[in-house]
Amino acid sequence: GAGVSQSPSNKVTEKGKDVELRCDPISGHTALYWYRQSLGQGLEFLIYFQGNSAPDKSGLPSDRFSAERTGGSVSTLTIQRTQQEDSAVYLCATHRPGPGSWTQYFGPGTRLLVL
Please identify which residue in 13, 45, 73, 74 interacts with another protein, judged by CB under 8 A: 45
65 binds another protein per the rule CB under 8 A: no
Q: Give the chain as a DSSP string.
A: --S-EEE-SEEEE-TT--EEEEEEPPTT--EEEEEEE-TT--EEEEEEEETTSPPB-TT--STTEEEEEGGGS-EEEEE-S--GGG-EEEEEEEE--BTTB---EE---EEEEE-
Please identify which residue in 43, 73, 76, 96 interacts with another protein, judged by CB under 8 A: 43
Q: Which stretch binds another protein (CB under 8 A): 14-22, 39-47, 60-68, 71-79?
A: 39-47
Cβ–Cβ under 8 Å, residues 81 and 16: yes
Minimum Å gap between C-beta 81 and another protein is 26
Task: Considering the complex, state which of residue 37 and residue 80 has its C-beta at the smaller distance from another protein.
Answer: 37
93 binds another protein per the rule CB under 8 A: yes
Footprint of another protein (CB under 8 A): 4, 31, 33, 35, 40-43, 45, 48, 50, 56, 59, 91, 93, 102-109
